[in-house]
């Protein structure tokens, strides 16, 4: 079924929308959650919560790209869940590495409030758009989709070291950009 | 702000960028997929638009008096139907200078045949004025000028040389580097203090202090509050230009420091041709709550 048709099902409050969404994007959303949680049970619950959130959001939301609309919800829910898990249960996983890499840009400051976070989202969106193609692509795969270095290398047919170099450059630029935009004062 | 916030803020990456990143390798040419993916996005967008027109949800309407000034595109009836709408979530978008972005649902509504000749109750968010951007860039150039002081560049060159030829990391240092916790800069600072002439050290310290001072000046001159008068002046010029062109639109009093919010009743032609020469505009239904993505 096309995304447009699925969205119309949501708008007509037809629960078939949930079944069709699950059929079409269940695997995709599971992989988004799993890359963050590294726990099939938790990821499955997270995907189920995604359908519930989508049902409550559409309408009024009319997603431009349904797949990405769902990916954003799943990512947000999975990360919330990750933060709520005990440190022991979190384990290492890819997300721990990504967070560690990002801490290189921002250090160990206190959590941002909602307004700051919204401004930060806009700023990161702007920053990513202005990056060169390769850096943009690998940074998005790493920091939005939480993909491993080897997966990114495989996806784009490049060496793992090239991925790491591109990520390192992108993070350095991100740190400078965040300083320039006044989000952080000095990098550690 | 911490790493969790930064990770979360990648939610702000736009759909096009995410879609492009989904493409996989394509034969021998690395990253050649970018162009193909962009073309595919255009085709997808065009087909989505066509399909969504077939399934148009009727928009809410009401009668309203005509605006006092008329453009050539505005019909001459005494009263016209005003189309209002509801914004969904996850459509946040930051247009760069010269870019105009319409909310997809609004775009559908203005092109729907049943809305021919209607006015649309819209909010226009204006930001990224070319003038403000140029000012910020010129202020940043002052910082980089100081950062490129010969004394600082010399220090950096010496640091690179030390790193490549003198520094002998221990196992623990290598482990720390892998975890992005390397202390090389700290080690070199000690080496520099011990081994380099006093005058070089003093020149470097003075240059670093000047660079920090330039940075503080930049922070002050480009803080949102400091830039507000510049933004407001640019917005006032834009409003004058719009009024002269017959747009029934005014500035909305909101607490935005970075964004200027405009509100008005516009025709289809005015929305499609909204003049964004030296700023960026995001046009959406009036009454946007913007908080539906969490």
What number is the ipTM of this complex? Answer: 0.90
Cβ-defined contact of A125 to B14 (cutoff 8 Å): yes
- pLDDT given for residue B192 in this prediction: 94
Query: A167, A98 in Cβ contact below 8 A?
Result: no
SS3 B175: helix
Among the partner residues A63, A134, A140, nearest to B17 by beta-carbon distance: A140
Band (pLDDT 50/70/90 cuts) for residue B88 is low
Residue A37 DSSP class: H
Interatomic CA distance for residues A55 and A46, integer angstroms: 14
Over range B114-120, report the average pLDDT: 90
**Separation CA A94–CA A148 (nearest Å):** 6
Query: Does residue B69 surpass a pLDDT of 60?
Result: no
Q: Which of A61, A71, A141 sits opposite B89 (nearest CB)?
A: A61
Identify which of A177, A50, A134, A64 has the alpha carbon closest to the alpha carbon of residue B107: A64
Helices (H) and strands (E) in chain A, counts: 10, 0
Residue B286 DSSP class: T
Strand residue runs (E) in chain B:
60-65, 79-84, 100-102, 119-127, 248-251, 260-266, 280-285
The angle subtended at Cα B170 by Cα B167 and Cα B173, nearest 5°, is: 90
User: Mean pLDDT score of chain B, rounded to an integer?
Assistant: 75
Of A105-119, B24-38, B185-199, highest mean pLDDT: B185-199
Q: pTM of this prediction?
A: 0.47
Q: How confident is the model at residue B36 (pLDDT cuts 50, 70, 90)?
A: very low
Most confident of A134-138, B27-31, B173-177: A134-138
B242 pLDDT more than 50: yes
For residue B33, the model assigns a pLDDT of 40
Q: What is the mean pLDDT of residues B36-52?
A: 37
**What is the pLDDT, as a whole number, of residue B35?**
39
Rounded Cα gap, residues B25 and A153, in angstroms = 9
In the predicted model, is pLDDT for residue B44 greater than 70? no
Q: Is A3 on the interface with B (CB under 8 A)?
A: yes
Q: Which residue has the higher pLDDT, B95 or B14?
A: B14
Test the A interface: residue of B13, B37, B87 with most A CBs within 10 Å: B13
Residues 92-121 of B with CB under 8 A from A: 92, 94, 96, 104-105
| Residue range B173-190: mean pLDDT, rounded | 76
pLDDT at B103 over 60: yes
The list of chain A residues with pLDDT below 50 reads 187-188
Residues in B closer than 8 angstroms to A72, CB to CB, are 11, 90, 293
Within 8 A of B105 by CB-CB distance, chain A residues are: 62
pLDDT value for B62 = 43
Residue B270 is predicted with a pLDDT of: 93
Chain B: closest CA distance from residue A88 (Å): 18
CB-nearest to A68 from B1, B15, B34 is: B15
Its sign, for the CA torsion B186, B191, B192, B194, is positive
The pLDDT of residue B202 is 95
Residue of chain B with shortest Cα separation from A66: B15
Give how far A78 is from chain B: nearest CA, Å: 11
Residue A133: what are its φ and ψ, rounded to 5°?
A: -50, -50
Enumerate residues 88 to 117 of chain A having a beta carbon within 8 A of any beta carbon in chain B. 95, 98-112, 116-117
- What count of other Cβ atoms lies within 10 Å of the Cβ of residue B127? 23
Among residues of chain B, what percentage have pLDDT more than 70?
Answer: 72
Range B81-92 average pLDDT: 67
Higher pLDDT, A120 or B86: A120
Cβ count within 10 A of residue A77: 24
Residues of A in contact with B20 (CB under 8 A): 136-137
């Amino acid at each position: 079924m096309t995304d447009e048709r699925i969205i119309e099902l949501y708008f007509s409050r037809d629960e078939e929308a949930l079944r069709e969404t699950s059929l079409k994007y269940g695997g995709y959303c599971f992989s988004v959650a799993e890359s963050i949680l590294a726990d099939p049970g938790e990821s499955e619950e997270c995907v189920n919560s995604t359908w519930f959130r989508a049902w409550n959001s559409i309408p009024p939301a009319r997603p431009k790209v349904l797949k990405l609309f769902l990916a954003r919800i799943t990512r947000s829910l999975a990360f919330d869940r990750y933060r709520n898990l005990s440190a022991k249960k979190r384990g290492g996983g890819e997300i721990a590495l990504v967070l560690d890499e990002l801490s290189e840009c921002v250090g160990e400051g206190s959590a941002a409030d909602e307004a700051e976070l919204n401004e930060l989202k806009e700023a990161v969106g702007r920053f990513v758009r202005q990056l060169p193609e390769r850096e943009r692509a690998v940074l998005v795969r790493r920091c939005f989709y939480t993909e491993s270095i080897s997966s990114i290398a495989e996806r784009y047919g490049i060496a793992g070291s090239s991925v790491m170099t591109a990520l390192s450059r992108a993070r350095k630029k991100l740190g400078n950009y965040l300083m320039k935009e006044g989000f952080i004062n000095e990098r550690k | 702000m911490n790493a969790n916030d930064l990770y979360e803020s990648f939610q702000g990456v736009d759909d096009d960028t995410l879609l492009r990143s989904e493409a996989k390798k394509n034969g021998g040419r690395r990253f050649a997929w970018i162009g193909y993916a962009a073309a595919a996005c255009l085709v997808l967008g065009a087909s989505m638009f066509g399909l969504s027109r077939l399934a148009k949800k009727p928009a809410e309407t009401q009668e309203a008096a005509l605006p006092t000034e008329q453009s050539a595109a505005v019909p001459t009836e005494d009263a016209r139907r005003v189309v209002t709408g509801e914004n969904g979530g996850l459509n946040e978008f930051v247009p760069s200078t010269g870019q105009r972005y319409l909310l997809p649902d609004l775009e559908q509504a203005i092109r729907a045949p049943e809305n021919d000749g209607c006015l649309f109750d819209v909010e226009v968010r204006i930001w990224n004025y070319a003038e403000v951007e140029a000012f910020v860039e010129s202020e940043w150039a002052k910082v980089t000028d100081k950062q490129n002081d010969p004394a600082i560049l010399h220090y950096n060159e010496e640091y690179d040389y030390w790193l490549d030829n003198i520094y002998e990391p221990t196992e623990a240092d290598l482990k720390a580097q892998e975890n992005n916790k390397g202390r090389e800069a700290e080690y070199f600072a000690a080496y520099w203090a011990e081994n380099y002439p006093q005058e070089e050290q003093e020149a470097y310290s003075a240059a670093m202090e000047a660079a920090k001072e330039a940075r503080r000046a930049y922070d002050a001159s480009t803080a949102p509050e400091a830039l507000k008068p510049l933004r407001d002046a640019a917005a006032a010029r834009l409003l004058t230009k719009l009024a002269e062109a017959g747009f029934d639109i005014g500035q909305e009093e909101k607490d935005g420091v970075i964004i200027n919010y405009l509100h008005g009743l516009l025709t289809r032609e005015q929305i499609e041709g909204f003049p964004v020469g030296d700023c960026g505009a995001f046009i959406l239904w009036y009454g946007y709550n913007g908080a539906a993505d969490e």
